[in-house]
Chain A
Amino acid sequence: MYFSRLIVTLQKKQDMNNQRAIITVVGKDAIGIIAKVCTYLADSSINILDISQTIVQNFFNMMMIVDLSKTEKSFGQLVDELKAVGTDAGVQIKCQLEAIFDKMHRI
Chain B
Amino acid sequence: MLFWIVAALLTLAASLAVMLPLAGRTRADNPRDHDIEVYRDQLKELERDAARGLIGPAEAEEAKAEIGRRILRLAGPENADSARAGAKLPRMVAVAAVLAVPVIAWGVYAVTGSPALPGQPLSARLAEDPADSSLEELIARAEGHLVSNPEDGRGWDVLAPIYLRGGRFADSVSAYRNAIRLLGETPDRLAGLGEAQASAAGGLVTAEARASFERAMAADPANPKARFYLATALAQEGRLKEAGEAWRTMLSALPADNPWREAVQQAIAEADRRIAAADAPPAAGPSQSEIEAAQKMSPQDRAAMIEQMVAGLDQKLRENPRDPEGWMRLVRSYAMLGRTDAARDALARGLEALDGDSEDGRRLLALAASLGLPATE
Q: Do A and B bind each other?
A: no
Spell out B's residues near A (CB within 8 Å): none
Spell out A's residues near B (CB within 8 Å): none
